[in-house]
């Protein structure tokens, strides 16, 4: 395989594919596609079921997009990351107040970060799940307010980016640092090898 399509706007995912030495091209949604609707949580849905379902839906949409645009055939990679604490899925904050509330909930506690990855290569689909535990230090109201004011939490699951300023909040992780960033390199490498890439 010479390259793949990355169906994600995340610069972190692109950087992690670069790290693996995988050539990739963006395959982003049209304005007519409602990407946010795919991320709606179903009643009583677990975080594991949610992140795997959303990733599969995103991959389905990306494969259709590839066909619709008549682009050269190549594997397509999708991923989705979610944060969960106390049985609640913490998605992207709706506003600054929501971001502050999420960070206050995570302060001084351990939460889980789940990233599902899926690759479509022809008729074959390969999928994997990375689960990590992250413990935050106890944060003051000022720390939370300053971080939210930076704008970094917006658009991020759980209202933080471990590769950014929030890295200073992380007291301990058990799992995959790259998975917490949005694309677990170990699991992704395994999927890509199954799809025919040489790493």
pLDDT (0 to 100) of residue 29: 87
Task: Determine which one of 18, 30, 34, 80 is catalytic.
Answer: 80
DSSP H or E stretch at residue 26 = strand 24-26
Task: Give the confidence band of 26 by pLDDT, cuts at 50, 70, 90.
Answer: very high
pLDDT over 70 percentage in the chain: 98
pTM of the model: 0.93
Task: Give the confidence band of 179 by pLDDT, cuts at 50, 70, 90.
Answer: very high
Averaged pLDDT, 5-27: 95
Q: CA–CA separation, 155 vs 47, rounded Å?
A: 18
pLDDT (0 to 100) of residue 126: 98
What are the DSSP calls for 86-126, one per residue?
TTEEE-S-SSHHHHHHHHHHHTTSEEEEEEEEEEEETTEEE
Averaged pLDDT, 83-90: 94
pLDDT (0 to 100) of residue 32: 73
pLDDT (0 to 100) of residue 186: 97
Cβ(42)–Cβ(52) under 8 Å? Answer: no
CA distances from 94 to 35, 64, 130, 184 (A): 15, 29, 25, 26
Average pLDDT, the chain: 94
Averaged pLDDT, 139-145: 97
- 40-76, pLDDT tens digit by residue? 899 999 999 999 999 999 999 999 999 999 999 999 9
Ramachandran bin of 141, using left for φ above 0, alpha for ψ from -120 to 50, beta for the remaining angles: alpha
Q: CA–CA separation, 128 vs 125, rounded Å?
A: 10
Three-class secondary structure of residue 136 per DSSP? strand
pLDDT (0 to 100) of residue 28: 92
- 112-137, pLDDT tens digit by residue? 999 999 999 999 999 999 999 999 99
Six token digits for residue 58: 């995103």
Is 146 one of the catalytic residues? no
Domains of the chain: 4-194 (3.90.950.10)
């Amino acid at each position: 395989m010479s390259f793949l399509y990355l169906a994600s706007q995340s610069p972190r995912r692109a950087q992690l594919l670069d790290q693996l030495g995988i050539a990739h091209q963006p395959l982003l949604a049209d304005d007519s596609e409602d990407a946010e609707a795919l991320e709606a949580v179903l009643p009583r849905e677990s975080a594991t079921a949610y992140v795997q379902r959303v990733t599969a839906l995103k991959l389905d949409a990306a494969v259709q997009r590839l066909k619709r645009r008549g682009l050269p055939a190549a594997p397509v990679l999708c991923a989705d990351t979610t944060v969960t604490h106390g049985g609640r899925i913490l998605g992207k904050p709706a506003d600054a107040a929501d971001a502050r509330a999420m960070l206050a909930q995570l302060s001084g506690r351990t939460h889980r970060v789940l990233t599902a990855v899926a690759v479509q290569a022809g008729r074959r689909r390969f999928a994997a799940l990375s689960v990590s535990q992250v413990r935050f230090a106890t944060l003051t109201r000022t720390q939370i307010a300053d971080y939210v004011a930076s704008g970094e939490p917006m658009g991020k699951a759980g209202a933080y980016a471990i590769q950014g300023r929030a890295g200073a909040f992380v007291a301990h992780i058990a799992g995959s640092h790259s998975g917490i960033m949005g694309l677990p390199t170990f699991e992704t490498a395994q999927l890509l090898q199954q799809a025919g890439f040489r790493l």
